[in-house]
Amino acid sequence: MNEPLAERVRPKTLEDYISQNHLVGEKGSLTHQIKKGVIPSLILWGPPGTGKTTLAHIIAEESQRPFYVLSAINSGVKDIREVIEKAKQSGGLFTSKNPILFIDEIHRFSKSQQDSLLAAVEKGWVTLVGATTENPSFEVIPALLSRCQVYILNAFDKKDLEVLLIRAMEKDTWLRSKKITLEETEALLRLSGGDGRKLLNIFELVINSENTDTITVTDKLVLDKVQRNTVLYDKTGEQHYDIVSAFIKSIRGSDPNAAVYWLARMIEGGEDVKFIARRMLISASEDIGLANPTALVIANSTFQAVSTIGYPEARIILSQCAVYLATSPKSNTSYLAIKKAQQTVRETGDLSVPLSLRNAPTKLMKDLGYGEDYKYAHDFTDNFVAAEFLPDEVSGMSFYVPGNNQRENALREFLKNRWKEKYDF
């Protein structure tokens, strides 16, 4: 039994596929295309263990296409060209069912490796299916990204993970040979972090470590087994996201010592320097924001610098930035503002832009009153005039509320002086 549990119970059909209903549910954006066999080149973007590889296999099976696999970790340009040549020969000239080329961790491909895919994708020799845990806007070259559709996979929720566990116990021969009682599952679900593969790996570890065929799974049993079998940091493994989560939470919690410790764990584990810098960029805006806007500038400069320099010297720059972010005042008001604004947009729909704010490039539009009542702020004292810039249906709503820190307290007074009673913070 050398094959991991996650591989043994991997779904083979859409009917067995768990979660991602927005993609492959009854009205999913990919369901109709898969059933018809009309598959575009696409990038599957989502956290580890959410079914990207499984979905690629199912797409190939359902559409009855030849399936070729490359791993970005150990494949070079030569390997890519060889596979493309095989795909061209197997696809034929008079069939729409060209082969599928699946590339796992496509974000690890260099620019030259990605360039070598362009002709094959553009000319339809292959249908590219790439899987990535990283934002493809950053990691996939624009020329290749423009030729692909991007589909986002979400981390499994509690219900998905429970279904995955039960299905594994029902389908796997080894698990069926044992008498397993799931008395408690909270620890299993929590440790998985929404990663289906990680859930099954932990479950298999727990069951395999018991010297009996009658096993009652409890939270204590799971935590005891996992703590005794903790593996070293692996940038392609399960601790990848746990460590960076601890790193960002240490920055958010203003603890420079912990931030540098978790940074060192990632560096010693060989983590991608840009991965670390990108997380600090996000934290600079999400966790520090307007309490210290310079943090975003520092984080962006760090990203540019380490992308140019690389290891080992990049560790010094990363450390400087991590300490700076951890010791900066904190505010998540910008994050909360856009979150609330997006929720309002979802609830209220496409509200009309007020006539006074509309663009009026033609005489007809001007005659219709577009922009007629607009007041040009620079024509007034202090370059400000009170006006309504929101649609009537959401008039007066506050999305940005200044935080309680030195800079935003000053912003609060500024806005109060400008808007008087409109913004009652």
Residue with tokens 């979400």, as numbered in its chain: 154
How many angstroms separate the CA atoms of 256 and 260, rounded?
Answer: 6
CA distance 160 to 61: 23
User: Among 299, 380, 398, which Cα is nearest to 341's?
Assistant: 398
What are φ and ψ of residue 120, in 5° steps? -65, -40
- Quick: pLDDT tens for 162-200: 999 999 999 999 999 999 999 999 999 988 888 899 899
Point out the least confidently predicted range of 148-152, 236-240, 285-289, 307-311: 236-240
Q: CA angle, corner 196, sides to 151 and 83, nearest 5? A: 55
Catalogue all structural domains in the chain, each as residue range(s) with its CATH number.
20-152 (3.40.50.300), 158-228 (1.10.8.60), 239-326 (1.20.272.10)
Closest of 278, 400, 248 to residue 339, by C-alpha: 400
Q: How confident is the model at residue 207 (pLDDT cuts 50, 70, 90)?
A: very high
Segment 124-140, tens digit of pLDDT: 889 999 999 888 888 88
What's the average model confidence in pLDDT over 267-280? 89
